[in-house]
Amino acid sequence: MPPPLHRTSSQALWLGAAALLLATTGCRRHDSHATAHEPVQGGTLIYATDREPICLDPHVQGDMPQVFLAEQYLDSLVAMDSSGRILPWLATDWTVSEDGRTYIFHLRHDVTFTDGTPFTAEAVRANLDHMVDPHTQSSTAGGYIKQYAGTDIIDAYTAAVHLKTPYAAFLEVLAQGFLGIESPRALARPRDENCQNPVGSGPFRIVRWDHQSQIVLERNPAYRWGSPTAHHTGPAYLDRIEWRIIPEASVRFAALQAGEVDAIDSLPPEAETPARRNPDLWLLMADRPGNPTNGTLNIKRAPFDDIRVREAFIRSADIDGALASVFFHHYRRAGGPLSPTTPFYSPTFEHHADYDPDRARALLDQAGWTGRTEDGIRTRNGHALIVHIPLKASLSAAERTLWEQVQATARATGFDVRLENGDDTSILEREGHWDYDVRIGYWNTNTADVLRIVFSSAFLGAAGVGGHHQNEAGFSDPTFDQIVNDALLTTDPDKRRALYLQAQTIAARNFLQITTYPQSTRLALSRAVHDVRLEPSLNVTSLYDAWVTR
């Protein structure tokens, strides 16, 4: 017999006052483009982005280009609104056992995937099973639901989802597009086939993928079950979306100015001021929650197995100066382990490791790096203080320049920082073998449980495509593990906030990352485009409400 149940959702799950940051201080939404006109049905929107997904199925690996696209053709069991509440979507209601290990979802009866398969409890089971299947190689979705134990089908529209341990963040992560629900018939195909043309129940369906060029989507005319955060009901207004891949930032922005595309994301910082001054364009921007853009230090080997050297390196990096010169003051600093839009974020750590070259030099002296080469690099026992930072080919030019500035300021305190270029595959292989001193990355998610994913010992093992590690620092601390695990055992927002404050404290005091800026969604759009919105859980683009005038 299942354990006793208590109801958590038609009134929605409240994440605590900290979640209000999702809608207030952290978000920077500019130049809102309101219109008094009625939406126009039909037309094509040409949307240009910088990176092509490695797979269109967001369950596989799980990188941001996948979730941006998934938002257009997948629906989720639940939704998150801008104040952090969890709302019904494909699941109309749910109950949670007193021990927090069983979720019984009651499902809509009227939902159909675009391949004709009905949405039932079997689809819930097939999707969750798919996410945790090792063959799927799911770094993101599978990593989020490591606690998943299995699903029982109570009836066609009732699913009992069982967890190995309580998981207070479960509904939060289910609201993300990474865990969007796909057709079980489509999931039964080989993984690579499903990567090419996954099937959802969303407002659009994927028509074709012309690799390195574009992904074409068409309207789902049967759509009647939009997100509760949407601004209309029924089918999407647009007939068609052309999702173009234009990696070069200047070319992408020029295409928007020339009217060749209707909207672009990843607006380069040097283009923000010209875009604001262009009366034919409008901007939509917001910071994304999670672990901010960073360089994670590998503490499993020298020199960063010494906390004094870690702190010295972080204090040798003039991030504020780099952001000012590289990003033209358009990107703000993120100094702590959580981006400010993340629930339970604390501002306490924003300046815990600011640029301080004098302290950096003193720390290196304490750590025994007292010798000098002719060109000023610190040495100890005849060995130079070298830091290896692999750079993927896909890294943006601005990000590359930022790390060149880190290289310059760190050299002034005696670090020989070597920026080592490579293709993405070879860099991923190096990371899988811990062959780096600093790994550049980020983790976007709508829960402070990101701290467990990026720093707890449970995530030291390789996961996903390329075999990279989610805990890239190699950090292992039983006290930290206990804190982040305890935070998953309670839904009390005050208790969670206190625990996540402790977790942020430990992460910050161990000097595990050079944090730089929050990841953000940065859209520039033609004035002919209306009502493009950002989905609240991750602040990614939603085109369901969008319409165009020509």
Band (pLDDT 50/70/90 cuts) for residue 14 is very low
What is the domain range of residue 360?
290-518
What sign does the CA torsion over 45, 51, 56, 59 have? negative
**Can you tell me whether residue 148 is helix, strand or coil?**
strand
**pLDDT for the residue 468:** 59
pLDDT above 90 (res 431): yes
- Tell me the mean pLDDT in the region 523-547: 98
Partner residues linked to 524 by β-bridges: 264, 283
Q: 69 and 51: one domain?
A: yes
Q: 394 and 333: one domain?
A: yes
Q: Is residue 474 in some structural domain? A: yes
Q: 62 and 132: one domain?
A: yes
Range 34-68 burial, b when 16+ CB lie within 10 A, else e: eeeeebeeebebbbbbbbbbbbbbbbbbbbbbbbb
Judged on CB neighbours under 10 Å (0-12, 13-18, 19+), 3 is exposed
Alpha carbons 524 and 508: distance in angstroms, whole number: 35
Q: Is residue 389 in some structural domain? A: yes
Q: Which of 357-366, 452-461, 492-501, 520-529 has the lowest mean pLDDT?
A: 452-461
- Helix, strand, coil shares of the chain as percentages rounded to 5? 30, 25, 45
pLDDT above 60 (res 197): yes
Q: What is the DSSP letter of 446?
A: S
Q: Which of 190-194, 389-393, 457-461 has the lowest mean pLDDT?
A: 457-461
The mean pLDDT of the chain is 93
**pLDDT for the residue 466:** 47
For residue 340, the number of C-alpha atoms closer than 13 Å in the C-beta half-sphere is 20
Band (pLDDT 50/70/90 cuts) for residue 469 is confident
Long-range contacts, 149-157 (Cβ 8 Å, 24+): 149/101, 150/125, 151/121, 151/124, 151/125, 153/121, 153/122, 153/125, 154/104, 154/121, 155/121, 156/120, 156/121, 156/122, 157/106, 157/107, 157/108, 157/109, 157/120, 157/121
Structure tokens at 412: 């002034």
Q: Is residue 31 in some structural domain? A: no
Q: 307 and 211: one domain?
A: no
**Angle of helix 493-509 relative to helix 478-486, nearest 10 degrees?**
160
Q: 243 and 328: one domain?
A: no
Residues 6 or more apart whose Cβ sits within 8 Å of residue 446? 22, 80, 172, 173, 175, 176, 289, 290, 342, 343, 537, 538
pLDDT in tens, 69-117: 999 999 999 999 999 999 999 999 999 999 999 999 999 999 999 999 9
Alpha carbons 499 and 486: distance in angstroms, whole number: 8
Q: Is residue 338 in some structural domain? A: yes
CB 66 within 8 A of CB 274: no
Alpha carbons 197 and 182: distance in angstroms, whole number: 11
- CATH number for the domain spanning 467: value is 3.10.105.10
Q: 480 and 491: one domain?
A: yes
Number of domains in the chain: 2
**pLDDT for the residue 9:** 38
Q: 325 and 219: one domain?
A: no
Range 422-439 burial, b when 16+ CB lie within 10 A, else e: eeeeebbebbeebebbbb
Q: 541 and 475: one domain?
A: no
pLDDT > 90: percent of the chain:
90
From the centroid of its chain, how far is CA 160? 28
Q: 130 and 225: one domain?
A: yes
Q: Is residue 306 in some structural domain? A: yes
Query: Residue 326 — φ and ψ, nearest 5°?
Result: -85, -40
pLDDT above 70 (res 462): no
**pLDDT for the residue 36:** 57
**pLDDT for the residue 10:** 37
- Tell me the mean pLDDT in the region 418-433: 95
Q: Is residue 9 in some structural domain? A: no
Q: Is residue 279 in some structural domain? A: yes
Q: 413 and 269: one domain?
A: no
Q: 245 and 302: one domain?
A: no
Q: Is residue 102 in some structural domain? A: yes
Total residue length of the chain: 550
Alpha carbons 300 and 297: distance in angstroms, whole number: 9
Q: 437 and 533: one domain?
A: no
**pLDDT for the residue 505:** 98
Q: Which of 279-288, 305-314, 321-330, 539-548 has the lowest mean pLDDT?
A: 321-330
Alpha carbons 521 and 397: distance in angstroms, whole number: 17
**pLDDT for the residue 315:** 98
Partner residues linked to 540 by β-bridges: 535
The CA-atom distances, in angstroms, between 213 and each of 49, 209, 218 are 11, 8, 17
CB 90 within 8 A of CB 200: no
Q: What is the DSSP letter of 220?
A: -
- CATH number for the domain spanning 127: value is 3.40.190.10
